[in-house]
Amino acid sequence: MRAALWLIALFALAAAGAWLAGNNQGSVSLFLYPHRVDISLNLAFLLVFSVIVLVILAQRALAAFVSLPQKAQRWRLQQKERASHAALLDAMGHFMAGRFLRARKAAEQALSKEALLAESGVSLEHAVSLRTLAHIMAAEACHALQDKAQRQHHLDQAMSEALKAPGSERQTLLEGTRMRAARWLLDDRDAAASLNELEALPPAAGRRMVAMRLQLKAARLSGQPAKALETAALLAKHKAFSPAAAQSLLSRLVLELIAHTHDTEALQRTWQRLTAAQRLMPEVAAEAVLRWLKLGGSPQMGRTWLQDLWAPLQSQHTQWSHEQRVKVVLALDACLPDVDAQDALVWLSRLESAQQSQPRSAHLQYLAGMLCWRHQLWGKSQSLLSQAAKNLDSPVLLRKAWIALAELAEQRQDPVAAAHAWKQAAKSSSD
């Protein structure tokens, strides 16, 4: 559309010029004593216009000629600036290709070329960022080469350069430098120093995904399961892992946290801090109960912690693995009530009902048999444990069942059955 308008305007100017020039009868007389020169008005206009154009062209040519040294200097400075940028890009390329010595050399060349520009009086707008990134690339190469002294030197230089940057640029460079330093320290297995670098970050930067991943690794390496669990929960909330990986990681961290408790009060506080979903993890609840009993906690509290897992244990559609189910059965067996416990009859009725509803469940048969053994119901206990021993596929549960059968046989003074049961228990232990 614009081209069409220009074309119409040119046609209009050409038509107007042709009309004016064709009907113009005027003339211009120049008196140059003793001569007189008469020319047409059209030619006079043409000569004046030509003179003006020649003057403008001459002025521009003179200005271009005068500015040639300045342009040559600017071109040389641009070449130096491009050379420093090219050196930094070469450092990045060599680093990604695994040529760490060349990467460090290229980063140092970028720094030297920028220093030459500064000495010549040229101050780049992004000079601080250029120097900081060059120092970081040199430090990355030194880290790959296990040159800790040079890495620390370039890191200190990068931090000092980043402090010179203005406003948001300074914050970005400082945060990036600290994150790189935290990763290097983590690679050196210095988890405490890495956590210090991460804690020095602003709160907003500390909640970024990359910072939380580094914090998770550092917390696990430094033996701080509580901090690692908190960080992993945040990462799982932000969907940094797949659901299966998040559940597996959280369960491992909770197990580590439980293993690091050394008294019942600490374990109880740890259990109260867990979420409802974490308490329903079978391996977590079972390990917490076993640790609780080992530390001298009451079996009744252990049964309370396992009460929510009773319904999934009975269900045949529960997505538990074999190891998880065995772990829960072991935890329940360890905290089954004695005959004088307040909830003894409740659990006895509960186990009998569950076993009768699923008569082929070896795990329920085992639990019911062990509870009957605790309640001195010898005959019923022997019957249930004998049935469970035929179908149990866990060596630990099978060994405990045969031991209980051996003790029952000794009580009724049946040495042949007792010897057979002890033999089966020993065989289960060797398996």
Phi, psi of 394 (to 5 degrees): -105, 120
Q: Output DSSP code: residue 29.
A: E
Question: In terms of domains, do 350 and 414 share one?
Answer: yes
The DSSP annotation for 101-132 comes to HHHHHHHHHHHHHHHHHHHTT---TTHHHHHH
Domain presence at residue 299? yes
Q: Residue range 116-139: average pLDDT?
A: 83
Residue 82 lies in a domain: no
At residue 208, does pLDDT exceed 90?
no
Q: Whose CA is closest to 205, among 173, 233, 229, 230?
A: 173
Looking at the chain, the whole-number percentage of residues with pLDDT higher than 90 is 12
Task: Give residue 181's identity as a one-letter amino acid code.
Answer: A
Q: Is the pLDDT of residue 302 over 90?
A: no
Q: What is the pLDDT of residue 22?
A: 64
Which of 320, 335, 350 is the C-terminal boundary of a domain?
A: 335
Instruction: For residue 347, count CB atoms less than 10 angstroms from its CB and return exposed for 0-12, middle for 13-18, buried for 19 or more.
Output: buried
Alpha helix stretches (DSSP H) within 188-223:
191-199, 203-206, 209-221
In a domain, 161, yes or no: no
40-54, 113-127, 321-335: which has the minimum mean pLDDT? 113-127
pLDDT of amino acid 430: 54
Q: What is the pLDDT of residue 105?
A: 93
The residue that leads in pLDDT, 25 or 405, is 405
Tell me how many domains the chain contains: 2
- On whether both 365 and 394 belong to a single domain, the answer is yes
Q: What residues have CB less than 8 Å from 395, skipping those under 6 apart?
A: 428, 429, 431
Element (H, E) at 148: helix 148-162
* Mean pLDDT value of segment 25-44: 75
- Cβ(248)–Cβ(266) under 8 Å? no
Helix 127-144 with 100-119: angle, nearest 10 deg: 160
Residue 274 has pLDDT above 70, yes or no: yes
Query: 3-state DSSP call for residue 201?
Result: coil
Q: Are residues 352 and 421 in the same domain?
A: yes
The last residue of one of the domains, among 304, 335, 366, is: 335
pLDDT at residue 145 is higher than 60:
yes
- 40 assigned to some structural domain: no
Is 4 domain-assigned? Answer: no
Q: What confidence score (pLDDT) does residue 431 get?
A: 52
Contacts of 98 (CB under 8 A, 6+ apart): none
326 and 354: one domain?
Answer: no
Do 371 and 322 have their domain in common? no
Domain that holds residue 415: 339-431
Is residue 102 predicted with pLDDT exceeding 90?
yes
Return the pLDDT at 168.
79
CA distance 76 to 182: 40
Q: How many CA atoms lie within 13 A of 247 on its CB side?
A: 8
Residues 383, 420 share a domain:
yes
Averaged pLDDT score across all residues of the chain:
84
Q: Establish if 44 belongs to a structural domain.
A: no
345 and 417, same domain (yes or no): yes
Where does the pLDDT of residue 62 fall: very low under 50, low under 70, confident under 90, or very high at 90 and above?
A: confident
CA distance 221 to 229: 13
Identify the band that residue 319 occupies on the pLDDT scale cut at 50, 70 and 90.
Answer: confident
pLDDT-based confidence at residue 19 (cuts at 50, 70, 90) = low
Asked whether residue 203 is domain-assigned, the answer is: no
Q: Are residues 377 and 327 in the same domain?
A: no
Over residues 270-281, the mean pLDDT reads 85
pLDDT at 204 exceeding the cut of 60: yes
Same structural domain for residues 327 and 383?
Answer: no
pLDDT value at residue 20: 64
Angle between helices 243-259 and 225-237 (to 10 degrees): 160
pLDDT at residue number 424: 82
Q: What is the mean pLDDT of residues 264-290?
A: 86
The CATH number for 408's domain is: 1.25.40.10
Q: Are residues 366 and 347 in the same domain?
A: yes
Q: Which of 296, 313, 335 is the last residue of a domain?
A: 335
* 408 assigned to some structural domain: yes
311 and 324 belong to one structural domain: yes
Q: Are 288 and 256 in contact (CB under 8 A)?
A: no
Do 413 and 351 reside in the same domain of the chain?
A: yes
